[in-house]
Amino acid sequence: MMFASVIVSITASDVNKVFEYKIPEGLSDLIKVGHRVLVPFGPRQIQGYVVDIKDEVEYDAARIKPIIRALDIRPVLTPELIQLAGHLADHYIASYISVIETILPAALKSKSKKMLSLHSPGGEAELAWQGMNLPHEVEVKTLSASQLAALKPYITSGEVIEETVLTQHTKKKYARALKPTFAPRGDFGRAYKQLELLDFIEQHDEYVLLSEVLEHGYTSGTVNELVKKGYVRRTDVVVERDPYKSRVFEEDPPKELNSEQEYAYNEIIRAVEEDTAETFLLHGVTGSGKTEIYLQTIAHVLDKGRTALMLVPEIALTPQMVNRFKARFGDEVAVLHSGLSHGEKYDEWLKVRNGGAKVVVGARSSVFAPVENLGIIIIDEEHETTYKQQDRPMYHAAEVAKYRSRYYNCSVILGSATPSLESYARSERGVYTRIELNHRAVTRTLPETKIVDMSVEHRSGNISIVSDTLREAIEERIRLGEQTVLLLNRRGYANFQICQDCGHVPNCPNCDISLTYHKAQYSLLCHYCGYEDGVKRECDNCSSDEVTFRGTGTEKVEEILRDMFNTGIVRMDNDTTRRKGMHEKLLDKFEQEKVPILLGTQMIAKGLDYPNVTLVGVLNADTMLNIPDFRANEKTYQLLTQVAGRAGRHELSGEVIFQTYNPGHYAIDLAQGNDYRTFYEKEMAFRRLARYSPYYFHVLFTVSHETVQKCLEATTHIHQALVKSVTDKAIIVGPSPSPIERINNQYRFQILLKYKNEPNLLEVLHEINLHYNELYKKEKLSLKIDVDPKYIM
Binding residues, as ranges, are 499, 502, 508, 511, 526, 529, 539, 542
DSSP string, 261-323: HHHHHHHHHHHHHHT---EEEEEE-TTS-HHHHHHHHHHHHHHTT-EEEEE-S-GGGHHHHHH
CB count in 10 Å sphere of residue 610: 18
DSSP 14: G
Binding residues for Zn(2+): 499, 502, 508, 511, 526, 529, 539, 542
For residues 716-729, b (16+ Cβ closer than 10 Å) or e, as one string?
A: ebbbeebeebbeee
290/414 Cα distance (integer angstroms): 10
How would you label 296-315 residue by residue, b for 16+ Cβ within 10 Å and e otherwise?
Answer: bbbebbbeeebbbbbbbbbb
Q: How far apart are CA 500 and CA 513, in angstroms?
A: 19
Angle (CA) 72-74-76 rounded to 5° is 80
Cα–Cα distance measured from residue 207 to residue 210, given in angstroms and rounded to the nearest whole number: 9
Q: How are the residues of the chain apportioned to helix, strand and coil, as percentages rounded to the nearest 5?
A: 35, 25, 40
Task: With CA atoms as reference, report the closest residue to 634 among 685, 569, 706.
Answer: 685
Q: Amino acid identity, residue 252?
A: D
Give the span between the Cα atoms of 57 and 59, in whole angstroms. Answer: 6
- The amino acid at 694: P
The residue type at 31: I
Beta bridge partners of 746: 743
Q: 442: left (phi > 0), else alpha (psi -120 to 50), else beta?
A: left
User: Rounded to an integer, what distance in angstroms lies between the CA atom of residue 369 and that of residue 348?
Assistant: 10
